[in-house]
């Protein structure tokens, strides 16, 4: 059979409010052409992020009812702990309300001013939390990872040579930890191979540097290893995940991604001294050690989500459904980042609308048009997001992209066919896309709250 079906039935539905183009034109004008300012009810297909937007299963909702809300020692915590340790066997586990809380606690304990953390690519909250300690976040992804048309199967890989050189230059004493992000979110959801995780571990061992995995999309990464890396086709996803984490000393996790829940996260590690300090910090900022920032029912839903996310029928469908969108866009000539990543499709807006200069935000113009034309909300990842420098001047970002992030188990194939059709129609009329400008912008993170309009 070549058709891969959604491996679930729908039991509970959430209506979508249908809108007309005229209504959407009014909504987006009132939102000052910033998609973050829209009311979600005015969006038909919301592809702003895959974070916290998963649908929970009937089993997870059943678990929510069974959540135990004891302040200390809840059985829900012990079920959560068992589910995490089955996949990621670290000694100490610290629940948090989100991934960034785990990052903040870890870096507060481990980093000092002037330290450096190498990573394949830091996610934006990870970078911000490293920098908040006065430390430096350094990205060392392989060269192919920066090339939008390279078909390399593991574009998220760490550049091992560059990592060794970096450690030699900066000295072990300034590098308290190394990280590797699976899949590489900021690099397009591209996977990291087992061989590369092992090689990163070998370098860390040689210098005595602890290795942490930013684990948000660990199951999607494991599926890519199973289907693309020689020697893994016959291993189960659970075994592959266990092997990935066997090379690390700890991990940070946002449960809003591959734990299939709407809120949650954790921090795990083997170092007892760090764990004691992290727990003290947790109690100060998040909550007691057996609940962190979460309710018992949240811990219960995570435990069940972790069992469901390594299910191979789920992962086959998940990765195929992302590739389906990317392949159908590419088939009509729409320029996209290659190959398709795990959780999102990235349209190359600079090649889509070459008549719009980068400083007139082709990605923003395309994202606005996808909303006006079909009610689809994507996200500009380009010059509007990254182009403003601390001194107030502006430069073009490396790439101008529109990310269509795909929530887990949430939209059907016919809804994705609609998305593909909308992009094709906008592509046919791409010469009509107009450049944009900021009419108001804050000094930092301007893409979240800035106001836009069309250039005259």
Segment interacting with ligand PLP, rule: CB under 6 A, options 254-262, 351-359, 431-439, 447-455: 254-262
Stretch that binds ligand PLP, among 74-82, 96-104, 138-146, 441-449 (CB under 6 A): 96-104
Residue 254 contacts ligand PLP per CB under 6 A: yes
CA-CA distances (angstroms) from residue 2 to 320, 408, 416?
Answer: 11, 21, 18
Q: Which is nearer to ligand PLP, 154 or 352 (CB)?
A: 154
Min CB(130)–ligand PLP separation in Å: 12
Decide if residue 104 touches ligand PLP (CB under 6 A). no
250 vs 362, which CB is nearer to ligand PLP? 250
Q: Indicate the residue among 76 and 181 with the shorter CB distance to ligand PLP.
A: 181
Chosen residue from 53, 54, 98, 193 binding ligand PLP by CB under 6 A: 98
Q: Evaluate the omega torsion of the peptide bond into residue 339 and state whether it is cis, within 30 degrees of 0.
A: yes
Does position 214 interact with ligand PLP (CB under 6 A)? The reply is yes
Name the phi and psi angles at 403, rounded to 5.
-95, 125
According to DSSP, the β-strands at 250-254 and 265-269 are antiparallel
Choosing from 216, 379, 385, 404, the residue that interacts with ligand PLP (CB under 6 A) is: 216
CB of 181 to ligand PLP, least distance (A): 5
- Considering only the stretches 19-27, 98-106, 314-322, 399-407, report the one whose residues sit in contact with ligand PLP under the rule CB under 6 A: 98-106
CA–CA separation, 205 vs 335, rounded Å? 41
In the bound state with ligand PLP, the residue whose beta carbon lies nearer, of 135 and 420, is: 135
The residue among 33 and 123 lying less far from ligand PLP, judged by its C-beta, is 123
CB of 425 vs ligand PLP, minimal distance in Å: 31
Provide DSSP, 153-210. TTTT-B-HHHHHHHHHHH-GGG---EEEESSBTTTTSB---HHHHHHHHHHHHHHT--
At residue 117, φ and ψ (nearest 5 deg) are -125, 110
Only one residue has tokens 């910090």, namely 281
Does position 265 interact with ligand PLP (CB under 6 A)? The reply is yes
Q: Which residue has the tokens 């069940």?
A: 304
The residue range among 95-103, 161-169, 218-226, 381-389 that interacts with ligand PLP, by the rule CB under 6 A, is 95-103
Structure tokens at 445: 């993170």
Query: Based on CB atoms, which residue is closest to ligand PLP, 302 or 423?
Result: 302
213 Cβ contact list (under 8 Å, min separation 6): 179, 180, 181, 182, 197, 244, 245, 248, 250, 251, 252
- Is 28 or 255 the residue whose CB approaches ligand PLP more closely? 255
Closest CB 431 distance from ligand PLP, rounded Å: 35
The rounded distance, in Å, linking the Cα atoms of 120 and 137 is 10
CB 211 within 8 A of CB 251: no
We find the least distance from the C-beta atom of residue 402 to ligand PLP, in angstroms, to be 18
Cα(271)–Cα(249) distance, rounded to whole angstroms? 8
Name which of 74 and 126 has its Cβ closer to ligand PLP. Answer: 126
Binding mask 119-148 for ligand PLP (x = CB under 6 A): ----x-xx----------------------
HSE value, Cβ hemisphere, 13 Å, CA-based, for 155: 21
Query: In the range 41-80, which residues lie near ligand PLP by CB under 6 A?
Result: 51
Least CB distance to ligand PLP at residue 73 (A) = 25
- Taking CB under 6 A as the criterion, the residue among 63, 67, 95, 99 binding ligand PLP is 99
Among residues 100, 226, 318, 447, the one that binds ligand PLP under rule CB under 6 A? 100
Do the Cβ atoms of 225 and 233 come closer than 8 Å?
A: no
Distance separating alpha carbons of residues 277 and 182, to the nearest angstrom? 26
Count of residues interacting with ligand PLP (CB under 6 A)? 15
Say if residue 370 is exposed, middle or buried (CB neighbours under 10 Å; 0-12, 13-18, 19+): buried
Q: For residue 233, report the phi and psi dihedrals to the nearest 5 degrees.
A: -60, -35
Rg (CA), the chain: 22
Please list every residue from 412 through 441 that binds ligand PLP, using CB under 6 A.
Answer: none
Q: Report, in Å, the least distance between residue 88 CB and ligand PLP.
A: 15
Residue 156 Cβ, how far from ligand PLP at the closest point, in Å?
A: 10
Angle at 175 between CA 286 and CA 258, to 5 degrees: 45
Is 109 among the residues that bind ligand PLP (CB under 6 A)? no
Q: Which of 174, 172, 187 lies closest to 133 in space, CA to CA?
A: 174
- What is the binding site for ligand PLP (CB under 6 A)? 51, 98-100, 123, 125-126, 181, 185, 214, 216, 254, 256-257, 265
């Amino acid at each position: 059979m070549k058709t891969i079906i959604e491996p679930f039935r729908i039991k509970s539905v959430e209506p979508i409010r249908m809108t007309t183009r005229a209504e959407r034109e009014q909504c987006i004008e009132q939102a000052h052409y910033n998609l973050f300012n829209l009311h979600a009810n005015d969006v038909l297909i919301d592809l702003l992020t895959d974070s916290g937007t998963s649908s929970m299963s009937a089993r997870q909702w059943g678990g929510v009812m069974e959540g135990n809300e004891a302040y200390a020692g809840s059985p829900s915590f012990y079920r959560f702990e068992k589910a995490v340790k089955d996949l990621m066997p670290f000694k100490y586990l610290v629940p948090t309300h989100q991934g960034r809380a785990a990052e903040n606690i870890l870096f507060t304990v481990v980093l000092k001013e002037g330290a450096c953390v190498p990573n394949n690519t830091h996610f934006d909250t990870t970078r911000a939390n490293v920098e908040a300690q006065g430390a430096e976040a350094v990205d060392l992804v392989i060269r192919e990872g920066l090339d939008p048309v390279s078909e390399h199967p593991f574009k998220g890989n760490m550049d091992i040579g560059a990592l060794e050189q970096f450690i030699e230059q900066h000295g072990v004493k300034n590098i308290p930890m190394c990280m590797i992000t699976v899949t590489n979110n900021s690099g397009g959801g591209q996977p990291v191979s087992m061989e590369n995780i092992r090689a990163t571990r070998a370098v860390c061992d040689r210098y005595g540097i602890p290795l942490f995995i930013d684990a948000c999309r660990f199951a999607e990464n494991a599926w890519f290893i199973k289907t693309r890396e020689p020697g893994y086709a016959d291993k189960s996803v659970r075994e592959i995940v266990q092997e990935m984490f066997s090379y690390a000393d700890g991990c940070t996790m946002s449960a809003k991604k591959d734990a299939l829940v709407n809120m949650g996260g954790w921090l795990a590690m083997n170092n007892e001294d760090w764990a004691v300090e992290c727990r003290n910090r947790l109690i100060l900022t998040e909550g007691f050690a057996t609940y962190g920032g979460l309710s018992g029912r949240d811990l219960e839903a995570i435990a069940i989500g972790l069992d469901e996310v390594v299910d191979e029928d789920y992962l086959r469908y998940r990765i195929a459904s992302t590739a389906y969108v990317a392949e159908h866009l590419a088939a009509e000539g729409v320029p996209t980042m290659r190959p398709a990543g795990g959780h999102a499709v990235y349209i190359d807006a600079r090649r889509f609308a070459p008549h719009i200069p980068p400083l007139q935000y082709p990605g923003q113009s395309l994202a606005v048009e996808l909303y006006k034309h079909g009610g689809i909300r994507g996200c500009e990842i380009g010059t509007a997001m990254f182009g403003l420098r601390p001194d107030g001047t502006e430069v073009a970002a490396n790439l101008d992209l529109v990310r269509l992030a795909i929530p887990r188990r949430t939209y059907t194939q016919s809804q994705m066919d609609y998305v593909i059709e909308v992009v094709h129609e906008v592509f046919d009329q791409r010469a009509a896309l107009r450049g944009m400008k900021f009419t108001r912008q804050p000094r930092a993170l301007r893409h979240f709250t800035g106001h836009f309009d069309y250039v005259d």
